[in-house]
Protein backbone atom coordinates (compact mmCIF):
# COMPACT_ATOMS: atom_id res chain seq x y z
CA UNK A 1 0.00 0.00 0.00
CA UNK A 2 1.14 3.50 -0.71
CA UNK A 3 2.15 5.79 2.16
CA UNK A 4 0.06 8.99 2.12
CA UNK A 5 1.81 10.80 5.01
CA UNK A 6 5.30 10.19 6.39
CA UNK A 7 5.28 8.42 9.75
CA UNK A 8 7.31 6.27 12.14
CA UNK A 9 5.92 2.77 12.56
CA UNK A 10 6.80 1.28 15.97
CA UNK A 11 5.66 -2.19 14.81
CA UNK A 12 8.37 -2.31 12.12
CA UNK A 13 10.74 0.18 13.81
CA UNK A 14 10.98 2.07 10.54
CA UNK A 15 10.23 5.52 9.11
CA UNK A 16 8.01 5.48 6.03
CA UNK A 17 8.09 8.49 3.73
CA UNK A 18 5.19 9.77 1.68
CA UNK A 19 4.96 7.90 -1.64
CA UNK A 20 6.85 4.82 -0.45
CA UNK A 21 5.31 1.35 -0.18
CA UNK A 22 4.15 -0.03 3.17
CA UNK A 23 3.98 -3.76 3.92
CA UNK A 24 2.89 -5.50 7.11
CA UNK A 25 1.29 -8.87 7.84
CA UNK A 26 -0.83 -7.53 10.72
CA UNK A 27 -4.19 -6.68 9.13
CA UNK A 28 -5.49 -4.88 12.25
CA UNK A 29 -2.46 -2.59 12.23
CA UNK A 30 -2.90 -1.92 8.51
CA UNK A 31 -6.54 -0.95 8.99
CA UNK A 32 -5.58 1.30 11.93
CA UNK A 33 -2.99 3.12 9.78
CA UNK A 34 -5.46 3.43 6.89
CA UNK A 35 -8.13 4.84 9.22
CA UNK A 36 -5.57 7.41 10.41
CA UNK A 37 -4.95 8.47 6.81
CA UNK A 38 -1.31 7.39 6.86
CA UNK A 39 -1.58 4.71 4.15
CA UNK A 40 -3.99 3.86 1.35
CA UNK A 41 -7.04 1.87 2.33
CA UNK A 42 -6.35 -1.78 1.51
CA UNK A 43 -8.41 -3.37 -1.22
CA UNK A 44 -9.86 -6.73 -0.31
CA UNK A 45 -10.30 -9.10 -3.21
CA UNK A 46 -13.00 -11.68 -2.75
CA UNK A 47 -12.49 -14.86 -4.70
CA UNK A 48 -15.82 -16.52 -5.40
CA UNK A 49 -14.11 -19.86 -5.99
CA UNK A 50 -14.14 -20.61 -2.27
CA UNK A 51 -14.94 -22.83 -0.58
CA UNK A 52 -13.26 -25.30 -2.96
CA UNK A 53 -14.24 -28.95 -2.88
CA UNK A 54 -11.06 -30.98 -2.40
CA UNK A 55 -12.70 -34.40 -2.17
CA UNK A 56 -14.27 -36.68 0.38
CA UNK A 57 -16.70 -34.03 1.62
CA UNK A 58 -13.84 -31.71 2.56
CA UNK A 59 -13.69 -28.09 1.44
CA UNK A 60 -10.81 -25.61 1.47
CA UNK A 61 -11.48 -22.04 2.60
CA UNK A 62 -9.77 -18.93 1.20
CA UNK A 63 -7.40 -18.88 4.20
CA UNK A 64 -6.26 -22.46 3.48
CA UNK A 65 -8.22 -24.04 6.31
CA UNK A 66 -10.02 -27.29 5.53
CA UNK A 67 -13.60 -27.84 6.68
CA UNK A 68 -15.77 -30.95 6.45
CA UNK A 69 -19.23 -30.46 4.95
CA UNK A 70 -20.45 -28.04 2.30
CA UNK A 71 -22.80 -26.04 4.54
CA UNK A 72 -20.18 -25.70 7.28
CA UNK A 73 -17.61 -24.57 4.70
CA UNK A 74 -19.96 -21.99 3.18
CA UNK A 75 -20.76 -20.57 6.63
CA UNK A 76 -17.08 -20.47 7.62
CA UNK A 77 -16.19 -18.70 4.35
CA UNK A 78 -18.94 -16.11 4.96
CA UNK A 79 -17.44 -15.42 8.40
CA UNK A 80 -13.97 -15.01 6.87
CA UNK A 81 -15.27 -12.53 4.31
CA UNK A 82 -17.14 -10.56 6.97
CA UNK A 83 -13.87 -10.09 8.84
Record the pTM.
0.52
- Assess whether pLDDT exceeds 80 at residue 79: yes
- Check residue 82 and give its pLDDT: 86
- Check residue 75 and give its pLDDT: 93
Query: How high is the mean pLDDT of the chain?
Result: 89
pLDDT digits (tens, 9 = 90+) for 8-36: 999 889 999 999 999 888 888 998 999 99
Average pLDDT over residues 72-83: 89
SS3 labels along the chain:
CEECCCEEECCCCEEECCCCECCCCCHHHHHHHHHCCCECCCCCCCCCCCCEEEECCEEECCCCCEEECHHHHHHHHHHHHHC
Q: Residue ranges per domain, the chain?
A: 1-42, 52-82
Amino acid sequence: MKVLKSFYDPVNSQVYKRGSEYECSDSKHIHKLAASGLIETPVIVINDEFPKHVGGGTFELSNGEKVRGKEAAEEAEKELRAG
